[in-house]
């Protein structure tokens, strides 16, 4: 019989009942160092006091009100995001894939209103991930996500990651936008080099098309800048955000320039829950913390420390690991073994990591993780690596 929860996930047999900072506590009392952070969601760790306060204060006043009315918490969060980024305007969603839906709609409406309705094509990249909605899977295009779900939303072209010639060849008169993750997450923690992002911006400017960045996983201070594209010194026209912005409360956003958003007038888009008072109260608390200059400095220091520790781990287990890649606290261990074997061995050693494509184990700890916790987590990964080797022999 089919389980009462639709069986779309392969779940590990772990039942977490509590979270404290960088730690997850299992029903049986075991404590795990959480280097997954709900796949880059718990950016400030578990039960951060400022987020608990923001959520409970708001919960005592008003949980939900329709977007038919003014929502001051939403206004406050939009103002913070606009002040801290390239954007002039923000629409709030509940998830990354909803942000993808709007980014696609916004780009198409832009060209429709410019009397160039043929510019519906969006160029996206192989190995990318933009969520599981119809637009999200069509944008990513991989067989793994799309097989059996056709007919797919038309209007996407896919080019291999890093293939400049294929990219240029793909730009014809029907292309209205390029969509890319500055650091591929699910694809295996593949950062786009700064010069490539600069080149993409220049290409978009040259062809007069829109640049859409998906910062759902790499945004909100994850890479050591508030948004990952800041490292390259260029800005997008439209950006998708989710995960870290809610610190664990479902919240997403699409940020855009006034020009790119010009087609999105009253009645063109909406959401029942998007930007609700609870989500935005938490989002404001997250933004207040991650925009403190000292916060980003600390993320960069922790990132350097974690990277150095991981390089040491790789050096100690050259038979299991190829190297470390990534940016900030979005790091990947390139494996010579199946990533899931290390992830499972990590469970036994009390450390949580996340597998990704391209033989990578992802490390996306809370941005607040301490150096002692990093040392302890890497010690546990060291034990996990020994266990994997033992199991293979």
CB nearer ligand PLP, residue 73 or residue 97: 97
217 binds ligand PLP, rule: CB under 6 A: yes
- Distance between CA atoms of residues 249 and 232, nearest Å: 29
CB nearer ligand PLP, residue 124 or residue 264: 124
Between the two ends of the chain, the Cα-to-Cα distance in Å is: 38
Q: How far is the CB of 46 from ligand PLP (least distance, A)?
A: 18
357 binds ligand PLP, rule: CB under 6 A: no
Q: Given candidates 34, 181, 237, 341, which one binds ligand PLP under the rule CB under 6 A?
A: 181
216 binds ligand PLP, rule: CB under 6 A: yes
Question: And the tokens for 364?
Answer: 């996306």
Backbone Cα Rg of the chain: 21
| Segment lying near ligand PLP (by CB under 6 A), choices 74-82, 127-135, 303-311, 358-366 | 127-135
Cis before 151? omega within 30:
yes
- Distance between CA atoms of residues 139 and 126, nearest Å: 9
39 binds ligand PLP, rule: CB under 6 A: yes
- DSSP for 169-182 reads HH--TTEEEEEE-S
Q: How far is the CB of 270 from ligand PLP (least distance, A)?
A: 18
Q: Given candidates 85, 95, 276, 353, which one binds ligand PLP under the rule CB under 6 A?
A: 95
188 binds ligand PLP, rule: CB under 6 A: no
73 binds ligand PLP, rule: CB under 6 A: no
Q: Among residues 287, 276, 283, 273, which one has the least CA distance to residue 62? A: 276
Beta pairing, strands 89-93 & 156-159: unpaired
Q: What SS3 state is found at 267?
A: coil
186 binds ligand PLP, rule: CB under 6 A: yes
- 10 with 343: CB under 8 angstroms? no
Q: How far is the CB of 245 from ligand PLP (least distance, A)?
A: 11
34 binds ligand PLP, rule: CB under 6 A: no
- 105 with 93: CB under 8 angstroms? no
Q: Given candidates 242, 253, 278, 324, which one binds ligand PLP under the rule CB under 6 A?
A: 242
| Number of residues near ligand PLP (by CB under 6 A) | 15
141 binds ligand PLP, rule: CB under 6 A: no
CB nearer ligand PLP, residue 214 or residue 341: 214
Cis before 326? omega within 30:
no
DSSP 228: G
Q: What SS3 state is found at 13?
A: coil
Contact footprint for ligand PLP (CB under 6 A): 39, 95-97, 100, 129-131, 181, 185-186, 214, 216-217, 242
């Amino acid at each position: 019989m089919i389980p009462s929860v639709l069986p779309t996930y392969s779940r590990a047999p772990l039942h977490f009942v509590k979270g404290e900072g960088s730690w997850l506590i299992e029903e049986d009392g075991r404590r795990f160092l959480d280097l997954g952070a709900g796949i880059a969601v718990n950016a400030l760790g578990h039960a951060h006091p400022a987020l608990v306060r923001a959520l409970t204060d708001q919960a005592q006043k008003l949980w939900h009100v329709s977007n038919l009315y003014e929502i001051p918490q939403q206004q406050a969060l939009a103002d913070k995001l606009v002040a801290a980024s390239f954007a002039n305007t923000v629409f709030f969603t509940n998830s990354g894939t909803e942000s993808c839906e709007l980014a696609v709609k916004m780009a198409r409406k832009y060209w429709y209103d410019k009397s160039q309705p043929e510019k519906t094509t969006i160029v996206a990249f192989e190995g990318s991930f933009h969520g599981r909605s119809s637009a999200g899977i069509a944008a990513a295009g991989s067989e793994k996500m799309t097989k059996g779900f056709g007919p797919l939303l038309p209007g996407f072209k896919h080019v291999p990651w890093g293939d400049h010639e294929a990219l240029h060849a793909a730009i014809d008169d029907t292309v209205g936008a390029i969509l890319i993750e500055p650091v591929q997450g699910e694809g295996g923690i593949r950062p786009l080099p700064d010069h490539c992002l600069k080149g993409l911006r220049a290409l978009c400017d040259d062809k007069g098309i829109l640049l859409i960045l998906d910062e759902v996983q790499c945004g909100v201070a994850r890479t050591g800048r508030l948004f990952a594209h800041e490292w390259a010194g260029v800005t997008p026209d439209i950006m998708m955000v989710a995960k870290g912005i809610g610190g664990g409360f479902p919240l997403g956003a699409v940020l855009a320039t006034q020009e790119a958003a010009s087609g999105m007038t009253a009645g063109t888009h909406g959401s029942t829950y998007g930007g609700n008072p609870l989500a935005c109260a938490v989002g404001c608390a997250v933004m207040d913390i991650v925009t403190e200059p000292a916060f980003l400095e600390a993320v960069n220091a922790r990132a350097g420390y974690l990277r150095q520790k991981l390089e040491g781990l790789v050096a100690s287990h050259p038979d299991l690991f190829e190297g470390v890649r990534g940016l900030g606290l979005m790091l990947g261990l390139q494996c010579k073994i199946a990533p899931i074997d290390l992830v499972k061995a990590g469970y036994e050693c009390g450390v949580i990591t996340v597998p990704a494509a391209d033989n990578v184990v992802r490390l996306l700890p809370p941005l607040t993780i301490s150096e002692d916790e990093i040392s302890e987590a890497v010690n546990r990964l060291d034990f996990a690596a020994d266990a994997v080797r033992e199991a293979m022999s």
